[in-house]
Chain A
Amino acid sequence: MESGNAMKSNRIIPKIAMIPTILVALGVFVGCMLWTVSLSFTASKSVPDMTFVGLQQWDRLFHDFRWLLAMKNMFIFGIAYIVGSLALGYALAIFVDQKVKGEGFFRTIFLCPHALSFIVTGEVWQWYLGPTLGLQKSVRDLGWTNFTFDWLVDRDFAIYAIAIAGIWHGAGLVMVLMLAGIRGIDGDIWNATRVDGIPAWRTYISIVLPMVMPSVLTSVALLGAGAIKNYDLVIAMTAGGPGTSTTVPSLVVMNYLGERSNIALAGTGATFMLIVTVGIAAPVLYWRQRRVKLLGMAA
């Protein structure tokens, strides 16, 4: 009897301790999200004004050609950033996994960019990729006077220049996650591939990569979140330019929140970004749940 009561209170006390956290999570996260979504159906301008206007703001936003360009840029940047970071991060992880001397040193170096904020990354890469100050000028000064690398001021390529800075920043995180996955692989697998005579590079691509899929998916989720909310990088590198060619959804939202004094449109844009985030995160979570069920493995 007594042990039964003790067990009950053991279960209740942690739950009670969680109540403040749950309240904060519900109030702040969920509550504020619902508030932002509700703003998108109002006529708010500079201050909230709860006059219901139906889908008018959504209609206006999706007929704005700059918003459509922003969405396109978000997807281009997102894909370039995620694929590039995965590829570079995996390559770095493979390199560090070769049991080189000073492995700890290399790991730290490769992870350093990730410790910088996007705004610092953006500023530095703007100097480096800008044609008058950076790479183009240096190579020209060395003698190759016809060398051009003006992606940053070219309206079709500026978004890729921004992706380069993003990849430099994100590869370190991917490396760390992949390395953990690779190191978690049973040594017997490596022995088996050696016995079968499979070259190392083939092993990494066809055997190891599927086995570290959870790390890949975690990376995709983390990088994807960064890609959707990307603002600092664009502001620091191009301020949305040249012209408005590198505008991204977060930039549009911030403009409407600030000097364009239209928080209803800002809420609409933010709600859309939330929908995209959920659209990426939900399948990943579902896939992992299924994996647990099917394979009985820890996700």
Chain B
Amino acid sequence: MQITKSTKLGLLLSVTFSALATASFADPIKAEMIDNWGTGAERAAVQVIQDAFAARGGELTSTVVQNGTQVLSTTVGRILAGDPPTTNTFSPSSLYLDLFIKDQYNDIDAVATAGKWRDVLPPFLIDAISYKGKIYIAPISMTVTNWVYSNKELLAKAGIAELPTTYDAEFFADLDKLKAAGIQPLGMGGDPTVYRWTFESVMQSVGGKDHWLAVWDKKDEAAVHSAKMREIFETFKRLHDYTDQGAPGRNWAAATDLVVSGQAALTIVGDWGKAEFVAAGKVPGKDFECNLQGNPPMYVIHGDMFGFPKSDNPDVIAAQKLFAETVFDPKVQADYNVIKSGMPARTDVDVANNPAFDECAQKAAVAYGDGAGVVGSPQWYLTPDGAGAFSDMLADYFNYPEMTTDQVIDQFWTILSEDQLPSRD
């Protein structure tokens, strides 16, 4: 037969395509993550995970929703609808405990045992990510709410060299100095989470670790009604005099921005507040100061973690396994936390000698230490219901002048004693 040009082309193409078809291209392992990380810094941190996952032969898509509550409702909705995501973000709270009890999540104990996770995680954290002895959650980052970020320029104007790292008389004297100099001392928001982490910061610094555990872990009535608890509540309420009228209803980012832009001198927020300063080009130590409150500061953990919705599909299980391995990799943890301003969950990641971690992160590393002193936050020890009632109580106490310390301690004891958290064992 006559071989025309087009026949030659056709033969060439068909040979090429059949060669491609027989070549073994492994399909990337697909995974979908539901998270609430929408800001610039947060997306960059997600990119770290996505790149690491791709390097291991996977493909990670990130579905962003607006806040932590929506992560929960979106994930639960998808689980019930039969289309669960591969993974979703968690924080160390009791929010997902009911879902573990109702068997809606897969455990990653095999990955954890193979990777010897229990050797490099603090004891409290191992409990926090386990249910019935098996590890269900992959932690990547630890954060605290115990930071005071202050605007150095405004402090200098009021003649304050350095803010004390406790909420004692000296601290309030400095706040008075700021007020006298016509500067708004405290930039504070008004939504329930703001009250909760501000109170956490006060309770950690004034009360210390033993008191914290007595109240939250042991639910000791004497500790709740003690003089120390009164001092904690009164110190918390005193902060109200140093906020401005516009505080109720303001969100935490707007409050932090007050300090960034020089309208307020300091704010109490978690590690994530630092991102607002960094985004505005401020340098720690030069433009702003970051203090961990408490002498010595406690480490009450919040943080970024991942859970794995239930599925029997072997592809999904493989994807979940790969994802868990990826986020527990030391390099991924280091890179992620440099961007997110947190501490790597693994204790064997070198922070002290890594120049990418700035001076605020170094302070946190010292407080984290080897992780032996890490404790849980109120959301860890209470049911989600109880944690909500606790936030409402703090919001009322902070804003209503006529609510007395006796009343709030009684209410607190009622919430604490009636709260029945199912066992994690």
User: Which of A's residues lie within 8 Å of B, judged by CB?
Assistant: 45-49, 66, 126, 130-133, 150, 152-153, 155, 237-245, 255-262, 265
Which interface class (under 10, 10 to 19, 20 to 34, 35 or more) fits B?
A: 35 or more
A261 B246 Cβ-Cβ under 8 A: no
**B390-425 near A? 1/0 per residue, CB < 8 Å:** 001001111110000000000000000000000000
Q: Tell me whether A47 and B248 are in contact in the complex, defined as CB-CB below 8 angstroms, given that A241-B190, A261-B385 are known contacts.
A: no
Alpha-carbon distance A240/B58, docked complex (angstroms): 44
Chain B residues within 8 Å of A66, by CB: 392
Give the dominant DSSP class at A's interface. loop
B76 A46 Cβ-Cβ under 8 A: yes
Q: Tell me whether A244 and B385 are in contact in the complex, defined as CB-CB below 8 angstroms, given that A47-B80, A131-B246 are known contacts.
A: no
Alpha-carbon distance A107/B72, docked complex (angstroms): 44
Q: Tell me whether A260 and B388 are in contact in the complex, defined as CB-CB below 8 angstroms, given that A152-B249, A244-B395 are known contacts.
A: yes
Q: Does B285 contact A (CB under 8 A)?
A: no
Near A by CB (< 8 A), chain B positions 327-374 give: none
A261 B249 Cβ-Cβ under 8 A: no
A255 B388 Cβ-Cβ under 8 A: yes
With beta carbons under 8 angstroms apart, the residue of B104, B192, B384, B398 that contacts A47 is B104
B395 A241 Cβ-Cβ under 8 A: yes
Q: Which residue of A lies closest to B191 (CB)?
A: A239
**B74-117 near A? 1/0 per residue, CB < 8 Å:** 00100110000000000000011011001010000000000000
Mind listing 5 A-B residue pairs with CB under 8 Å?
Answer: A241-B191, A241-B395, A258-B70, A259-B387, A261-B72
A126 B249 Cβ-Cβ under 8 A: yes
B246 A260 Cβ-Cβ under 8 A: no
Q: Does B28 contact A (CB under 8 A)?
A: no
Q: Does B68 contact A (CB under 8 A)?
A: yes
Which 7 A-B pairs give the minimum distances between C-beta atoms? A132-B246, A242-B248, A243-B399, A258-B69, A260-B388, A261-B384, A46-B98
B246 A133 Cβ-Cβ under 8 A: yes
Chain A residues within 8 Å of B387, by CB: 259-260
Near A by CB (< 8 A), chain B positions 245-281 give: 245-249
Q: Which residue of B lies closest to A247 (CB)?
A: B392
A12 to chain B, nearest CB (A): 37
A259 B68 Cβ-Cβ under 8 A: yes
Q: Does B73 contact A (CB under 8 A)?
A: yes
A259 B69 Cβ-Cβ under 8 A: yes
With beta carbons under 8 angstroms apart, the residue of B68, B96, B249, B392 that contacts A237 is B249
Q: Does B287 contact A (CB under 8 A)?
A: no
Chain A residues within 8 Å of B392, by CB: 66, 244
Q: Which residue of B lies closest to A137 (CB)?
A: B246
Q: Does B168 contact A (CB under 8 A)?
A: no
Chain A residues within 8 Å of B98, by CB: 45-47, 261
Chain B residues within 8 Å of A240, by CB: 192
Chain B residues within 8 Å of A49, by CB: 102
Alpha-carbon distance A238/B73, docked complex (angstroms): 23
Alpha-carbon distance A46/B103, docked complex (angstroms): 12
Q: Tell me whether A262 and B396 are in contact in the complex, defined as CB-CB below 8 angstroms, given that A45-B98, A133-B246 are known contacts.
A: no
B76 to chain A, nearest CB (A): 6
Chain B residues within 8 Å of A241, by CB: 190-191, 248-249, 395, 399
Chain B residues within 8 Å of A245, by CB: 399
Alpha-carbon distance A257/B76, docked complex (angstroms): 11
Q: Does B153 contact A (CB under 8 A)?
A: no
Q: Does B244 contact A (CB under 8 A)?
A: yes
Alpha-carbon distance A243/B70, docked complex (angstroms): 23
In the complex, besides A46-B95, A239-B249, 9 extra interface pairs with C-beta distance below 8 angstroms are A46-B76, A48-B80, A153-B246, A237-B249, A238-B249, A240-B192, A241-B399, A243-B399, A244-B395
With beta carbons under 8 angstroms apart, the residue of A243, A261, A265 that contacts B396 is A243
A261 B95 Cβ-Cβ under 8 A: yes
Q: Which residue of B lies closest to A254 (CB)?
A: B69
Q: Tell me whether A131 and B95 are in contact in the complex, defined as CB-CB below 8 angstroms, given that A243-B399, A243-B400 are known contacts.
A: no
Q: Tell me whether A258 and B72 are in contact in the complex, defined as CB-CB below 8 angstroms, given that A46-B99, A243-B396 are known contacts.
A: yes
Chain B residues within 8 Å of A255, by CB: 388
A46 B102 Cβ-Cβ under 8 A: yes
Chain B residues within 8 Å of A45, by CB: 98
Alpha-carbon distance A66/B415, docked complex (angstroms): 14
A109 to chain B, nearest CB (A): 29
Alpha-carbon distance A49/B79, docked complex (angstroms): 15
Q: Which residue of A lies closest to B258 (CB)?
A: A132
B384 A130 Cβ-Cβ under 8 A: no
Chain A residues within 8 Å of B79, by CB: 47
A259 B395 Cβ-Cβ under 8 A: no
Alpha-carbon distance A256/B392, docked complex (angstroms): 13
A130 B249 Cβ-Cβ under 8 A: yes
**B42-72 near A? 1/0 per residue, CB < 8 Å:** 0000000000000000000000000011101
A161 to chain B, nearest CB (A): 11
Alpha-carbon distance A241/B395, docked complex (angstroms): 8
Chain B residues within 8 Å of A257, by CB: 73
A47 B99 Cβ-Cβ under 8 A: yes
A47 B388 Cβ-Cβ under 8 A: no
B384 A150 Cβ-Cβ under 8 A: no
Alpha-carbon distance A261/B249, docked complex (angstroms): 23
A258 B73 Cβ-Cβ under 8 A: yes
Near A by CB (< 8 A), chain B positions 377-392 give: 383-385, 387-388, 392
Q: Which residue of B lies closest to A262 (CB)?
A: B385
Most chain A CB neighbours (cut-off 10 Å) among B76, B249, B387: B249
B249 A260 Cβ-Cβ under 8 A: no
B387 to chain A, nearest CB (A): 8
B384 A239 Cβ-Cβ under 8 A: no
Q: Tell me whether A47 and B102 are in contact in the complex, defined as CB-CB below 8 angstroms, given that A242-B399, A259-B95 are known contacts.
A: yes
With beta carbons under 8 angstroms apart, the residue of A48, A150, A243 that contacts B398 is A243
B18 to chain A, nearest CB (A): 49
Chain B residues within 8 Å of A243, by CB: 248, 395-400
Q: Tell me whether A155 and B399 are in contact in the complex, defined as CB-CB below 8 angstroms, given that A241-B190, A244-B392 are known contacts.
A: yes
Q: Which residue of A lies closest to B69 (CB)?
A: A258
A155 B400 Cβ-Cβ under 8 A: yes
A153 to chain B, nearest CB (A): 5
Chain B residues within 8 Å of A258, by CB: 69-70, 72-73
Alpha-carbon distance A260/B327, docked complex (angstroms): 28
Q: Which residue of A lies closest to B397 (CB)?
A: A243
Chain A residues within 8 Å of B399, by CB: 155, 241-243, 245
Alpha-carbon distance A105/B270, docked complex (angstroms): 51
A234 to chain B, nearest CB (A): 10
